[in-house]
Amino acid sequence: MNWNPFRKKEETESIDPLDITLDSLKPGYVLDYDLKTWQVSAHHYYEYDGDRVDEWELSSADEVVYLECEKDDGVAYTLTRKIRVSEFDADIPAHINQDEDPPEEIAYKGIVYEADSSAIGRYYQNGEGTGDEFIVWDYLDDSEKRTLSIEQWSDDRFEASVGEIVEDYQFSNILPGEAT
């Protein structure tokens, strides 16, 4: 190719690795947490009465976790893992179908979680579409550091997750990468 001084340069997005923050993650980015390197495989969000909660799906080897960022009075991060609803001692779906709410207290792997809040929201997978409606019930343990959530997506489809409240300083080496 011959050199042409009048040719327009292709514009590419310039990313300064020093300006990347945890709440600006995009699919393809990599970061370190808990002595592992994770890749952002997706970016979704939830909407609750105009409030938005971003969720990034992080993958490392054969493990998948979800990092949520809620901006309310400040910025709060939660890192969760999906679990099967059948892992609970109680039949949570039956309780919800009978009483329209799950129990006030749920035990999971020796930890007791107390009901904290509930909300109706919409979930936007990859930030697209009209969103899927769901109901979520959130629980906290006594330390208020561990979380448990029950989600109802239809009359008979339930999902659950457990996790912990994390701080942005626990994540490091955030670098841009190519989306997979």
Query: What string of pLDDT tens digits covers the 180 residues of the chain?
Result: 555 655 555 544 555 555 688 999 999 999 999 999 999 999 999 999 889 999 999 999 989 999 999 998 889 999 999 999 999 988 999 999 999 999 999 999 999 999 999 999 999 999 998 999 999 999 999 999 999 999 999 988 999 999 999 999 999 999 998 765
Instruction: Say what the pLDDT of residue 159 is.
Output: 97
What does the alpha-carbon distance between residue 42 and residue 98 come to, in Å, rounded to a whole number?
Answer: 35
What does the alpha-carbon distance between residue 149 and residue 147 come to, in Å, rounded to a whole number?
Answer: 7
Instruction: Say what the pLDDT of residue 50 is.
Output: 84
126: which residues sit within 8 A by CB, 6+ positions away?
42, 43, 44
What does the alpha-carbon distance between residue 107 and residue 99 come to, in Å, rounded to a whole number?
Answer: 18
Question: What are the φ and ψ backbone dihedral angles of 3, each rounded to 5 degrees?
Answer: -75, 130
- pTM (predicted TM-score): 0.86
